[in-house]
Structure 1
Amino acid sequence: MPLSQRPIKNAMVLAAGLGTRLRPITDTMPKPLVPIADKPMIDYVLDLLQGAGVERAVVNVHHFADQMEAHLAERQYPKIVISDERAALMNSGGGLSKGLKLLDDGPVLVMNADLFWVGEQKDAPSNLTRLASFFDAGTMDMALLCVRIEDTTGHNGKLDFSLSEDGRLSRYGDGMPNPVVYAGAIAMHSRLFADAPPDAFNLNIYFDRAIANNRLYGIVLDGHWMTVGTPEAISEAEDAIRRLDNGA
């Protein structure tokens, strides 16, 4: 598919989780504000969105919500809109559904606040630009950014999907070809959630529904992806960032 010249300008960042595996650090701060190489995790994510042309990003908050709001208030781009989940956590799907109501209908990029990547080729379209251009609402429910296991740091080794030659995704099973890991970024149209339940639910429901309808697609990430789920994983991520910054 040719690269479109029209970026997706709206985004949703899922940032309301408790970060329990990062305790005791998250006993005093929300996981998205935990610094990795002196930069809060969520700022890596917001910088990636800004670089892809996103102008408006909804961020949901719950755990230490006041800290999140204070930090996000300092940011000029993209423009931040808060989706307040102080009263009740909505899980990934419910949080996304609630946040989408704060955006105009249309295509949207969705990211997790604690999953990000570094080391993209500087002379090529970014991963999010490629994902936005690849997404076709006529044939896809969602397009996912995926990553090969050898390009990850901090991951538990679980393989999520098998990626076909035409970009279609199916749930991974032993021996299936071209295994990939979900990298925490989605391109989709907000109308997909028009009939979403009002309560908390997991986003995997929509992944499985899209697979059943042959409408879940993906592309492979360029660069190095990281997840920071435990205190020990912080140093691993920082080592990977230093290595890539030094061109190793």
Structure 2
Amino acid sequence: MTIKQAMVLAAGLGTRMRPITDTIPKPLVPIAGRAMIDYVLDLLVEAGVETVVINVHHHADQMVSHLEARNDVEILISDEREQLMNSGGGLAKGLKLLPPGPVLVMNADLFWIGEQATQPSNLKQLSAFFDPAKMDMALLCVDMDRTTGHNGKKDFSLPDSGRLTRYNEGEPRPVVYAGAIAMDSRLLEDAPADAFNLNIYFDRAISQNRLFGLPLDGQWITVGTPDAIEDAERTIAAVATDK
């Protein structure tokens, strides 16, 4: 299945990236000469996505101006200038701009590089893996040794069955949530109208054995603080050299 619509969560304040984010939204912080969000949009376009909703709040005008320069995908703006909605509330609000159905969701500041050219991309694999009959959501997850810039926190355990549970010390195959979801937008039809964290839906899916994960191919990059930029650029340069 090719999923042709997506939402990118991009409205956060980026407080840990200060002072850079005092004057620029975090998704526009350049990494190896490109804004972080452009790495994310490239991944979505490669996977066949045609329409993307992006929420904006911090330095919203800069975000809108930057996104208007993209001509390879239709971009719809979910405006959160008046109120930040957190990850869950922002997603629920933004998805109302799309027809109901399967959708990919990504964070604007998490991306990956170095996928195997001979295999379907991570997002294509995630789209094919998602089975709404038995899953609320399918999350792209990354093994600890494929992360750059991560603080070491282990989010889930990923067994061979693919069914995710919250990680407890000593459990096999700890993984990090890589910031990409395949889901059906109708899952959030009962969502609160105010701000809430998406972890509520993760935990509900776990309680019903309906949260699944797929391991990421390549190297995952997160840039949470200014001093992480150098590590990210070093990883990008190393992967480019290996090709």
CA deviation after TM superposition for structure 1 residue 232, in Å? 0.3
Structure 1 segment 1-248 matched on structure 2, within 5 A: 6-247=1-242
SS of the residue aligned with 1:60?
strand
Report % sequence identity. Answer: 69
SS of the residue aligned with 1:131?
helix
Opposite residue 176 of structure 2, the aligned amino acid is: V
Distance 1:237 1:74 in 2: 25
Opposite residue 163 of structure 1, the aligned amino acid is: L
Question: Deviating runs (4+, > 3 A) in structure 1?
Answer: none
Distance 2:99 2:109 in 1: 25
Opposite residue 147 of structure 1, the aligned amino acid is: V
Unaligned runs of 5+ in 2: none
Opposite residue 207 of structure 1, the aligned amino acid is: F
Distance 2:118 2:61 in 1: 39
Match of 1:3 in 2: none
CA deviation after TM superposition for structure 1 residue 77, in Å? 2.0
Opposite residue 31 of structure 2, the aligned amino acid is: I
Corresponding pairs, count: 243
Distance 1:37 1:81 in 2: 26
SS of the residue aligned with 2:242?
coil
Distance 1:173 1:197 in 2: 29
Opposite residue 154 of structure 2, the aligned amino acid is: L
Unaligned runs of 5+ in 1: 1-5
SS of the residue aligned with 2:55?
strand
SS of the residue aligned with 1:246?
helix
